[in-house]
Chains A and B, each alone.
Chain A
Amino acid sequence: MVKRIITMTVNNRPGVLNRITGLFTKRHYNIESITVGHTEAEGISRMTFVVNVDDERIAEQITKQLNKQIDVLKVVDITDQAIIVRELALIKVAVTPATRGEIYTLIEPFRAAIVDVARDSLVVQVTGEPEKIDALIDLLKPYGLKEVARTGTTAFPRGSQRASSTNKSLFII
């Protein structure tokens, strides 16, 4: 299984999300996460998918099938580009007076923030690459995780692509 990050712009019409996720179900593609939101252009949304696929052929099929949707404007598999990948997580962790300080120190290198404080819990907010979030969650686990909410990955190609990067992304217009 390989992980691919696919971004696309779509017309912001009723049912578009349904159409896309329906396509994933119909074709038996395995979605790990989806994020959707507005773009700078009115009426156009951006979606970012992380999918697990068996091989390159399936990855190519996904982009091609997505591209056939009338409301899909552009699909790019950006996995192999120089990209910025971000996710946000809210982590509610159990605290005691004894562990409170420890947690504060622990999250510091992650540049995470405490966004809610209660007598027996804290809510930590962290952004970054999904692996960083995994790492923080792992560290907090021993204290007792009460709740975790993750947004899923959103991603962007960087402004300038490294010249030497193996740029295999599939542009199909």
Chain B
Amino acid sequence: MAANMKVKERVAKKQTLCGALMLIEALKAENVKVIFGYPGGAVLPIYDKLYESGVFHVLTRHEQGAIHAAEGYARISGKPGVVIATSGPGATNIVTGLTDAMMDSIPLVVFTGQVASSVIGSDAFQEADVLGITMPITKHSYQVRDIHELPKIIKEAFHIATTGRPGPVLIDIPKDMAVAEAEFDYEQDVQLPGYQPTTKPNHLQIRKLVEAVSQAKRPVILAGAGVLHANAHEQLKQYAEQQNIPVIHTLLGLGGFPADHPLFLGMAGMHGTYTANMALYECDLLINVGARFDDRVTGNLAHFAPKATVAHIDIDPAEIGKNVPTKIPIVGDAKEALIQLIEQNGKRPDVSEWLNKLNEWKREYPLMYKREPGVLKPQRLIEMIHEYTNGEAVVTTDVGQHQMWVAQYYKFKQPHRWVTSGGLGTMGFGLPAAIGAQLAQPEATVVSIVGDGGFQMTLQELSVIQELNLPIKIVIVNNQALGMVRQWQEIFYEKRYSHSLIPNQPDFVRLAEAYGMKAMRATTEEEAEYVLKEAFATNAPVLLDFHVCPGENVYPMVAPGKGLHEMVGVKW
């Protein structure tokens, strides 16, 4: 039976197919479980073939929703997200998502329709130079010019998107290519002489690092999303414990190391913990594993890790030495590098004094906020959500203050539960990302925590959540403001709140109800307790509108241009 199937498959793979069917067969061969898209003129031939293909296609209500959903899917499943959009406006609507995926190294394969080959370049109806527009925001891109090449292109696209440093790959398909026919051969090997990512770290550099660790007095690990992409969370823990080195996370790395581990110091950067930032300032050996020294993490580079020897493990050689001079460069996969380091089982550094200091800081300068009777503090709200989900939910956020509060107060214990827009900081990301996250893990509790501002950038996707009955819990941290903008205006622009206060937001509860969704509002801690309990007992989508204390700010904070040691709002 199985052998029979194999033969059948072979035969199927040698068939002559039109472009649209090639695409569908390739998706099946790549084991793609779901695609996100939106139809239009240039992709009609593809949609026609999708009609009875058995491919699970989610019709989002905006192409931006489709690509963010695909990003959420990729983040949680570890598999590439797949998107289809039509030419012109469909394609330009995915530009933000492509940039977002490029910045945060999310594997996507994106198909865009294009006007027919014969009219490309004539400013035809719904023609846009999608290749030109997206070149700087994709890992690679293709335009199909010869139907015989399509199988090879799709195969390469999946390979490029998911290997090395992951990223988005775009395939632009002129309408005539979707109907043109050729032999479909998907068995061929990918041959890309110009693309050979180094995954095996250089042994000499590993030895150098082992030596440096053994000599270190104040070592620290900064772990980024590279750990998650490489599925190296186990090895990270093992290595940190073996060598007794404390761990700090970047925003995107959260969950790579358990937040309740005694060696965990919290998140670094602009809204990182005092201990994490001071550890980066004081350390004598900084081991970066899969982080790219983003400016939100480093603060002013002139003051960054001034006393440290820097080692950097990264799959992308271009990230090493880009922002921070690096003494020990290790190009390779984070998991392979950590395995090698563990195997070296080098001499444990003497860090007792260092750990004492760090623990003292942790005790002395924890994250803090003031609870007040009668008002709902956003930080408290996140803590309550953490309690209700036992810190195990899949959490997506939008961008702004609420995002930082989630990063600070939702103590992720496990990897691959955290979906947020880091590098680009894309408002409108959180809600559609939750759709993809839930589809990637249908059994998981998914909470989408969004601001009242960003929610309105992609709220049309409520429709999809309701239609598919995805039991996502949507939490609006409603501060009647573009809170993060308001905070900066308060601090850096003399409280001149230019276009950041929105006191008359719509009634989000009734809005959700218009979509047929259950919704509730809470304005105090007591009400919050009640609605959260009710929501998490419901196996259906629920939208919760939390009216939180509007003037609350995110602290501590490293002001732009300052060093990590110059935090404000550390103590009352």
Contact = CB atoms under 8 A, between A and B. Distances in A.
A31 interface: no
A19 B140 CA distance: 9
B318 A22 contact: no
Nearest to A27: B136
A69 B318 CA distance: 11
Contacts, number: 42
B136 A22 contact: yes
A173 B194 contact: no
A64 B193 contact: no
Given A73-B193, A173-B196, A18 B132 contact: yes
Contacts of B141: 15
A163 interface: no
A58 to B, nearest CB: 10
Nearest to A10: B194
B145 interface: yes
B537 interface: no
Given A15-B135, A18-B132, A70 B160 contact: yes
B195 A70 contact: yes
B63 interface: no
A135 to B, nearest CB: 38
A81 B45 CA distance: 55
Nearest to A66: B318
Interface string A4-24: 000000110011001100110
Contact of A23 (B131, B136, B192, B196): B136
A67 B164 CA distance: 13
Given A19-B135, A22-B136, A14 B145 contact: yes
Interface residues of A, number: 23
- Interface hub of A11, A14, A22, A70 (most chain B Cβ within 10 A): A70
- B contact residues, range: 20 to 34
Contacts of A22: 135-136
A26 B136 contact: yes
B423 to A, nearest CB: 14
Given A14-B143, A70-B160, A57 B321 contact: yes
B316 interface: yes
Contacts of A169: none
B321 A60 contact: yes
A28 interface: no
Contact of A70 (B132, B136, B145, B192): B192
A95 B90 CA distance: 60
A136 interface: no
B339 to A, nearest CB: 24
B322 interface: yes
Contact of B194 (A57, A64, A65, A72): A72
Contacts of A73: 193-194
Given A19-B135, A23-B136, A70-B140, A11 B318 contact: no
A172 interface: yes
Contact of B317 (A15, A26, A69, A172): A172
Interface string A145-165: 000000000000000000000
Interface string B134-169: 011001110101000000000000001000000000
A71 interface: yes
Nearest to B156: A70
A15 B145 CA distance: 12
A30 interface: no
Interface in B92-125: none
Contacts of B192: 70
Contact of B135 (A18, A64, A172): A18
Contacts of B194: 10-11, 69-73
A61 interface: yes
Interface in A15-45: 15, 18-19, 22-23, 26
Interface string B186-225: 0000001111100000000000000000000000000000
A64 B317 contact: yes
A168 interface: no
Contacts of A111: none
B202 to A, nearest CB: 13
Indicate the member of B136, B192, B318 with the most A CB atoms within 10 Å. Answer: B318
11 contacts: A10-B194, A15-B135, A18-B135, A23-B136, A60-B321, A61-B321, A64-B317, A67-B317, A68-B316, A70-B195, A173-B196
Interface of A: 10-11, 14-15, 18-19, 22-23, 26, 57, 60-61, 64-65, 67-73, 172-173
Interface of B: 131-132, 135-136, 139-141, 143, 145, 160, 192-196, 316-318, 321-322, 325
Given A61-B321, A70-B160, A70-B195, 14 more contacts: A10-B194, A14-B143, A14-B145, A15-B141, A19-B135, A26-B136, A57-B321, A57-B325, A68-B318, A71-B194, A72-B194, A73-B193, A73-B194, A173-B196
